[in-house]
Amino acid sequence: MSNVQLIALLVSGVVALVVPSLTESITHSKAPTWLKSTITFALSAAVGAVTTVVVDDHATVLGYLAAILTAWLTSARAYVAGLVLAIAPNTGVGAPKAKHAQETA
């Protein structure tokens, strides 16, 4: 593994620290866990792929997968550790239905 590939993994890991906060800003605070997990994985995959393209444009598929896995594991660990900034907890995707909407349905 070359230094360029290691730098891509390091940058993916560092940038992935903001993924939990991005997930919380996109989703409602009471959104289902599966929705938050899916959004976190999608953002982590984007972070890993974009970081790899920017740092090492000749990376192999294994390089991309390693960067995506690094970003996902880092973001999951950051979430568990509580490194989350809830920017808009009462707005976003996955908000529960309002009571009046459930009564008329």
pLDDT in tens, the chain (105 residues): 667 778 888 888 898 989 998 888 888 888 888 998 899 999 999 999 998 888 887 888 888 899 999 999 999 888 888 878 777 677 778 777 777 655 555
Residues in the chain: 105
pLDDT at 100: 66
- Is residue 71 within 8 Å of residue 19, measured between CB atoms? yes
Measure the CA–CA gap between 45 and 16, rounded to whole angstroms.
Answer: 10
pLDDT at 30: 86
What pTM was estimated for this model as a whole?
A: 0.77
Phi, psi of 15 (to 5 degrees): -65, -30
